[in-house]
Amino acid sequence: MTGEAHTDSSLRQLSYAEAIREAMDIALAADERVILMGEDIGVYGGAFQVTGDLVHKYGEDRVMDTPISELGGAGVAVGAAMTGLRPVFEFQFSDFAALAMEQIVNQAAKVRFMLGGAASVPVVMRFPAGSGTGAAAQHSQSLEAWFGHVPGLKVVQPSTPEDAKGLLLAAIEDPDPVMIFEHKILYKMKGTVPDGHYTTPIGTAAVRRSGADLTIVATSLMVHKALEAAATLADEAVDAEVIDLRTVRPMDRDTVLASVRKTGRLLCVYEGVKTLGVGAEVSAMVAESDAFDFLDAPIVRLGGAESPIPYNPELEKAVVPQVPDILNAARQLAGGTV
C-alpha cells in the first residue's frame, strides 16, 4: 500500500461500500477530470447505494445518471476517457457487462495498442458481482475470467474494505482500463480503512494467513471462506496459507509460486465456473514453473458448478464453493488422498 501518511486508523471501521464511496469522493475532490457515470447513481445513490449522496456534493455534471443502455453508457465512458477525462462507470450488475463487451473488449482494451501508444483509455468500470443475494441466473454471475482473458485490460477483485478503497484509487490513477469486480455480499462487511489518500498496488497479491502445509489461493468473497476453513484446519494440525489474489490480471506470479514452493500443495478456490476460470490460470502458472517440482500432490481447483446460478437459496449455495467444500478438498489434499 502506498500513498500519503495516514492517521492511526486502528479504530476506524468502514463498510466495503463506504470505503468505495470514500475513494470516489477523494478522487473527485482531487482531480476535476474524474467523473462518475452509471444507471441510477445520482439521486438514487446506485443500485447498491454505493455512490450515496455524491451527486449533491459534486453535481450532476460529475455524477451522471446514464440511460438504461449498458452499451451506450460504456461507450460514452470509453470516449470520455480518450478525451482526457477519468470516468468511473458503474454497472448495476456485472452480468450486464455482456451488453457492453463491444466497447470494453474491442475498444477500451485495444486503443493504446492500435494507436501505437499515442492515446490511452483511463476508464474504470465497477461491477457488482457474485451470488448469495437470491438474484438468480442473470444477476449473480462471476465473470472476471472473461475480462482477464483480454490483453489491455486490468482486472481486480478486492476482498476487504481497505483494498476496495486502495485498489479503486489506484485504478482511477492508472492510464489503462481497469475492471473492478465488487462482490455484492461484501458491501456491508466492515473493516479497518486508513483515512486520506492511499493506493493498493494493482498486480500484487496479499498473504492473508501464513502456513506451511497447504497453499489456498482465493479471490474476493472466497478469501473469507478460505480463512474460515483455515482456522478449522489449524485445529486439525493442518497449517494452511491463504493468498488473496486481489488482481486477476496482471496476476502476482511471484507470491503464488513462493508459497507453493514452501507448502508443496495448491488449492485454488474461486466462485466463477470451474472450467476455464481463474483457478485454471493459477494452476497453469504453477505447472509451467519450477514450483511444479515442489508439488507433493496434484493441484486442486474448487470453482463454481457447470450451471447457471439458481434462485432457490439452498441450490444457490450448492453451486458455488462453501466452507465445508473447502475443508473437504483441503483435508484430502493435505492427506494425500486427492
pLDDT (tens digit per residue) in 118-148? 999 999 999 999 999 999 999 999 999 999 9
pLDDT for res 4: 45
**Per-residue pLDDT tens digits for 150-174:** 999 999 999 999 999 999 999 999 9
**34 sits in which H/E element:** strand 34-38
Place of cell 488473496: 244
| Coil, strand or helix at 103 | helix
Length of the chain: 338
pLDDT band at 335 (very low <50, low <70, confident <90, very high): confident
Q: Which CATH superfamily is domain 11-199 in?
A: Thiamin diphosphate (ThDP)-binding fold, Pyr/PP domains (3.40.50.970)
**223 sits in which H/E element:** helix 221-235
Other Cβ atoms less than 10 A from the Cβ of 151: the count is: 8
CA torsion sign, 52 to 56 to 57 to 58? positive
**Per-residue pLDDT tens digits for 246-270:** 999 999 999 999 999 999 999 999 9
**Per-residue pLDDT tens digits for 8-63:** 545 799 999 999 999 999 999 999 999 999 999 999 999 999 999 999 999 999 99
Tell me which CATH code domain 206-333 carries: 3.40.50.920
Other Cβ atoms less than 10 A from the Cβ of 158: the count is: 28
The residues with which 64 forms a beta bridge, in sequence order, are 37
Average pLDDT, the chain: 95
Question: Is 197 within 8 Å of 16 (Cβ atoms)?
Answer: no
Provide the annotated active-site residues: 70, 139
Asked if the domains at 11-199 and 206-333 fall in one CATH topology, the answer is: yes
User: In the predicted model, is pLDDT for residue 75 greater than 50?
Assistant: yes
Cell of 69: 443502455
- CA atoms of 169 and 186, how far apart (whole Å): 18
Domain limits, the chain: 11-199, 206-333
pLDDT for res 110: 97
Residues 26, 8, 247, 210, Cα dihedral to 10°: -170
Q: Per mean pLDDT, which range of 37-46, 113-122, 175-184, 328-337 is the poorest?
A: 328-337
- CA atoms of 338 and 240, how far apart (whole Å): 16
